[in-house]
Structure 1
Amino acid sequence: MRYAEELVDIGEYHFPAAKDIRKPELQMARTLVENLAGEWDPSQYKDEYRENLMKIIKAKMKGTEAHLVEHVDERPTEVVDLMERLRQSLEGAGKKTAARAKKTTAKAHRKRPHAA
């Protein structure tokens, strides 16, 4: 995770072209990213480590003791089983793909002319 002041423009980076990626792998990666993507605002977060470090430095320069802010998260932390979530996500995508394939097969059978 990065704080707002640490973010850089992606245009500064150059990535190699993907040559040997199979379509199913690419589709699975896209599905995974789309399922896990959400809105994120980096300005919601504060870099408390940096703030406290600067307080320590300034206090040492003045020859005094630093008064640091300790953040206590009051919300209980929910542990998420990522492998289980991934499996569920991929199963859900697989069901949609299977249903779509079944419809396509049914359409193909209906359109096929029968021998007279």
Structure 2
Amino acid sequence: MPRAIWNGAISFGLVNIPVKLVTATQSKKVSFREVRRGDNSRIRHRKVAANDGEEVTQDQIVKGYEIAPDRYVVLDPDELKALDPGRSRAIDIEDFVDLADIEPLQYESSYYLLPGEMGGKSYELLRRAMQETGKAGVARFTLRSKQYLAVLRPVGPALAVSTLLYHDEVVSPAQLDGLPEDVEVADRELTMASSLIESMTVAWDPTRYEDEHRQRVLELIERKAEGEDLAEASTPERDAGDVVDLMAALEASLSAAKAGDEPRDAGRRDTA
């Protein structure tokens, strides 16, 4: 059971629901320490000034905003602290929106909300009402002296809150170069592509997808820890190949998918 990292209340209108915030994700990435080859001595990193190479202590460090090359506006910690949003124990819902309308690119970090003492009924009422209406609550809350824009939504029997990037932090497709323009797609090509997608469609099950690279790294670590002498091996680079005939590729892929084979190499030219 994750430990609560924040206690407060969901607030909307005149309703207040006591809740506890717990983490909804946990990193499983393999972490390494930097050590010196030969004796495995830990590597230490020191902070030094670029001008003279002198080591800098923490009390000498201030924040500088670069306004031009090597020109900074320096801000003291007290000046920044004065701009902090202040302590708050409320997740203030400002609006309700259709959950499907929120662009997934805006999602940042996610947490679960658990009902606080005496808050079970109002918690469940809000969760069920949002689930039945397909709505999500757009809110603001303060965590560790930083104010976040967030979306509150039902996830199974729980409520979850995800911090959001602001709209100007997400790159718009209109800013992208190189997207296809005035491309004609034949009806038959679209039908074939749609059929291929349908043939490869399964019910979403996150347990189908494992971090294979992480598992290989952990297995390597275990084998080396047991003293096994491993020959150098490299994973061959996978060549995407060149699609030379779109319809031929679609037809071959669809046939392979229906037969239960891998369709990945269909319609590609040998580049060897």
TM-score of the aligned structures, taking structure 1 as reference length: 0.31
* TM-score of the superposed pair, with normalisation by structure 2: 0.17
Higher RCO by CA contacts (8 Å cutoff, separation 6 or greater): 1
